[in-house]
Chains A and B, each alone.
Chain A
Amino acid sequence: MRVTSKWSLACIALLMFQACSAKKGASPPEQEIREGWRNYRLGEFNAAVRIFQSVQVSQPRGSEFRLQALYGEASCWNHRRDGRDIARAVVGYRAVLEEAPQNPLASWCALDIVRTRHLAPADQTIDYEKLVREYADVYRSYPETLAGQEAFLYENSLSLPGADPEQSRKILENITTFLSAHPKTPFLSQFYGMMAECYRKMDDQGQRLEYLIKSLGAREIDPSNPIDDRSTAYWNIAYAAEFEAGNFALAREYYKRLMHEYPQDVRIFGVRKALQRMDAIEAALREGRDPAKSIEIRR
């Protein structure tokens, strides 16, 4: 009987020891932060806010976990569907900026403050020009951070659709300067794509095609996602090459890539028609006929 109870005590002690050692891997606030974000991702914002708030209370001002919790809570108020409170979110972002302006989270907070205005409730009108200026400010304040680079991306992507050729030239210069400072930016593909669009607006089709191809080559590949759909990129290059640059060799190359790599794509019928159409136009030109009449072949 005594032996049994001793063994029982020993087992309990072992279990307690194991339980203690299991927690050693991650400190409680870190675990709580993870749990808070897990709830955030599941859309359980009330639970997430409770967790983030409890971490804020338990951690000293300016400490890493407190900043993470402040940021987490602000994100909950910013992105929750029911009871979204942008003002409260901004207070949280600003608190991080005030408590630790040098912390890596500060740049994300600065970006997210602008994002709250960009993603304002749908019934509010957005002042895009002001937004562009605000994104530019974020980039100027945090040029070496990922958040800063993202702000620069938004700044230019919002400017580009309404830009005239002169404004496009300016955007092109800005991007070129940016890329010389950040040649390894993870948004390289997007910046090349924007440069291609600038060249389109400036009616420089040769450069446009060059940058469309560069943009395709610089695409990031997600190793955990085997679907890397390039079909639209191929189509865009082929379309530009055929209709606007008159580079049928390049158009054929990319139409064929689309056909071979994506044989189930909805545009394959159109691709085949395009190949026939280009042959017919070339034949018409060789024979000295007006290709405009041959373009009827596209039907």
Chain B
Amino acid sequence: MEKGGRAKLAAMLEQELGSRSTRRSPRPFDEMRRFFSTWKSKLPWVVIIAVFCWAVVTIAMRRREETPPDVVTVRLAHWQLEAGVRDGLAEAAAEYEKLHPNVRIVQEAIPESTYGQWMSTQLMGGTAPDIVQAGMVEGHLMTAFFTRYFVPFSRYVTRPNPYNAGTDLEKVPLIRTFKDGMRRSFIDETQEFMTVPLALTGVRLFYNKPLLKRLTGLDEAPTDYRAFLEVCEKIRSQAQPNGQPYVAIAGSRFHFARWDESLIKPLTYLAAREIDFNRDGRFSKEEMFLGLASGKISFAHPAYQASFKMLREITQEFPSGWSGLTRDEALFNFAQQKAVFLATGIYEAEGIREQAAGKFDLGLMDFPLPAKSDPEFGAIVQGPRYENPEGSMPMAVTRTSKHPEVAVDFLLFLVSREQNEKFNKRLKWIPIVVGAKIDPYIKPFEPTLEGVFHAFDPTIGGESFIKWSQLFSLYQINQISYDDMATEFTQFFKTQGMEDFREFLRNRRRSQIQDEQLAVGLRSSAQLKEGREADADWIKYRNVVVTRQLAADRTLLTEGLIFTDPDGLKRQSFYQHTAKALENVRKSLGAETARAWERN
């Protein structure tokens, strides 16, 4: 066996040596063939590496071109792709660069549909631009982002804006130079001002003036709701050159929401006083749930009935199949002069103007309100709707910014009176800075600060949210009657809705745990500091304890009554003068009044 094995090994060695000797004496062209064969297999890698190197060099050179070594580059990202915004920002950046030649502002406009994801990735990866438009993600996520990835703006809000020098705002603290008092900029969870808004927005009704004149003989659209509906009927009764009827209101799911917020839902205002369980003069969806579940209010409330009736009337003036149309399709119908009216926000004003330029004159009006004498809605309508004047386009400076002080300075520049006026004039938006002139064209967009709010929101979450969405969608397209929708939803709300509300309250408790982290964080900060700094943190700490923790306990205990004492909730009354109160008023009016009262 051993002998045989050795013989095999010897044969193998001989074979191996033989092959080596073959390699030692190559045939002609073998070397070359082998060389090309090796390169052939490696060629793709060579190409990839070469392209990569070329790309790196090109990008590096371009970056160097864009940002020479002695230049500070501030990148700014936003999702406003509407007409004018990018130009407006570019113009402001150019002005800023004139003042600060060593600074270059580069903007990145990211589409709305991907902005949230994009921003999250950039922030988490530490590659976010210096300035970011804050939003397009869930509120709780944005709050977490504010804590981790953004620089607080608080220390600037009490100081004057240096770019307001030479104006009457020269010595005015920044916060007071904003029309909205920077209310939305203050983030409770961080107890800091985190954002700087650049503009105000609003929603109004555009109309095609010559088309209106041609179809109805009117120069201006009627501002009374009933007259407006009549005009819509008249428009609908006439045919386009292709034989199709004209559309009164360019509609889509997006545009329906504008009508709903601005005209239809505010009709529910009167219901608020029936369900203001915490008597704070506001409406909340919890109160709506408590009202419906306890039976204190129902869909039979005249304000709710009126609102849903109006919805039917308005959507009749939309094109057929409107709920399947997109925002762009509705805009297209309006631009193609197939529809007379279009409800949309100020953010589209410039785009619409560009579309109409040279084709037709645009009219701009507020939503037509029913008159007090209106046979159906006169008793229900209370006034115009309230429009919250909160700032839009909130910009924030990221922690990863290499030049946060320059980023902040550029934002201060943008919210100086002069620049904010110019910037918004270019965008055709409403300036947010006090005293900045508004473009006359968008004057009708100025928010209505005294008006009614809506008191209808059955979206307490979970299954009832889905149920409501389904029924409401059916109602919008006339597939279910109001009574059937009301019966089906109320039944669902009183059963499954109770479970959803339980979960809603559990979420409140979950928030309390998060707020406790904030509170203890502030407390620890206060304990590690001294003097005024410590005092400020203690005050913030107590603010969280009082406004978040104690308030949440109160809410949990009072709203939890729906499970233990629904009748008690139903018995509560609000906005009713007690007999004792009226007696006190009578007494305070004096003896004469008392005599008159006794006489009668």
Tell me the A residues contacting B by CB distance below 8 Å.
33-34, 37, 40-43, 72, 75, 78-81, 84, 108, 112, 115, 119, 122-123, 128, 150, 153-154, 157-158, 161-162, 186-187, 190, 205, 220-227, 232, 235-236, 239, 242-249, 263-264, 266-270, 272-273, 281-282, 285-289, 291, 295, 298-299
Contacts and interface: CB of A to CB of B under 8 A. Distances in A.
Contact of B383 (A108, A123, A269, A291): A269
A157 B452 CA distance: 33
B542 A220 contact: yes
Interface centre among B180, B509, B512, B596, by most chain A C-beta atoms within 10 angstroms, is: B509
Interface string B169-202: 0000101000011110010000100000000000
A268 B281 CA distance: 10
Interface in B512-527: 512-514, 516-517, 520-521, 523-525
Contact of A190 (B453, B528, B550, B600): B550
B584 A247 contact: yes
Contacts of A242: 577, 581
Contacts of B538: 186
A87 to B, nearest CB: 16
Contacts of B592: 286
Interface string B437-471: 00000000000011111000000000000000000
A122 B453 contact: no
Contacts of B173: 226
B521 A41 contact: yes
Contact of B521 (A37, A221, A227): A37
Contacts of B509: 119, 122
A236 B574 CA distance: 12
B554 A239 contact: no
Given A186-B542, A227-B181, A288-B599, A43 B147 contact: yes
B51 interface: no
Contacts of B180: 264
Contacts of A161: 554, 557-558
Interface residues of B, number: 80
A162 B557 CA distance: 8
A267 B450 CA distance: 8
Contacts of B599: 288
A226 B191 CA distance: 12
A282 B589 contact: yes
A288 B596 contact: yes
Interface centre among A80, A154, A235, A266, by most chain B C-beta atoms within 10 angstroms, is: A266
Given A263-B449, A286-B596, A270 B281 contact: yes
Contact of B553 (A157, A270, A282): A157
A295 to B, nearest CB: 7
A287 B596 contact: yes
A223 B532 CA distance: 10
A122 B507 contact: yes
23 contacts: A40-B521, A41-B521, A72-B524, A112-B520, A122-B507, A161-B554, A186-B538, A221-B539, A225-B191, A225-B540, A226-B175, A227-B182, A227-B183, A235-B281, A247-B584, A266-B388, A269-B382, A285-B586, A286-B596, A288-B596, A288-B598, A288-B600, A299-B382
Contacts of B507: 122
Contact of A243 (B157, B532, B575, B586): B575
Interface in B495-544: 506-507, 509-510, 512-514, 516-517, 520-521, 523-525, 528, 532, 536, 538-540, 542-543
A79 B542 contact: no
Contacts of B477: none
Contacts of B474: none
B136 to A, nearest CB: 21
A285 B524 CA distance: 58
Contacts of B516: 78-79, 115, 119
Given A266-B453, A288-B597, A220 B539 contact: yes
B33 interface: no
Contacts of A40: 517, 520-521, 524
B12 interface: no
Given A157-B553, A222-B536, A299-B270, A235 B280 contact: yes
A79 B158 contact: no
A119 B515 CA distance: 10
Contacts of B539: 220-223
Given A41-B521, A288-B597, A281 B585 contact: yes
Contact of B589 (A78, A263, A286): A286
A267 B550 contact: no
B32 interface: no
Interface string B567-593: 000000011111011111110110011
B194 to A, nearest CB: 13
Given A153-B550, A264-B449, A269-B452, A243 B589 contact: no
Contacts of A221: 539
Contacts of B98: none
B577 A243 contact: yes
A112 B546 CA distance: 16
B228 interface: no
B431 interface: no
B554 A268 contact: no
B585 A246 contact: yes
Contacts of A205: 580-581
A44 to B, nearest CB: 9
Nearest to B586: A285
A146 to B, nearest CB: 8
Nearest to A128: B557
A193 to B, nearest CB: 9
A239 B273 CA distance: 12
B144 interface: yes
Contact of A123 (B506, B512, B545, B574): B506
B279 interface: yes
B62 to A, nearest CB: 35
Given A161-B558, A224-B154, A122 B510 contact: yes
Interface in B378-405: 379, 382-383, 386, 388-389
A99 B467 CA distance: 56
Given A157-B553, A264-B180, 18 more contacts: A43-B147, A128-B557, A157-B550, A162-B557, A205-B581, A220-B543, A223-B532, A225-B154, A227-B186, A236-B280, A243-B581, A244-B580, A269-B382, A269-B386, A269-B450, A269-B452, A281-B577, A288-B600
Contacts of A246: 577-578, 580-585, 588
A270 B455 CA distance: 13
A41 B147 contact: yes
B205 to A, nearest CB: 21
Contacts of A81: 513-514
B282 interface: yes
Interface string B261-283: 00000000010000000011110
A205 to B, nearest CB: 7
Contacts of A225: 154, 186, 191, 540
A158 B386 contact: no
B585 A286 contact: no
B148 interface: yes
Given A220-B539, A245-B581, A232 B596 contact: no
Nearest to A34: B528
Contacts of A268: 386, 449-450
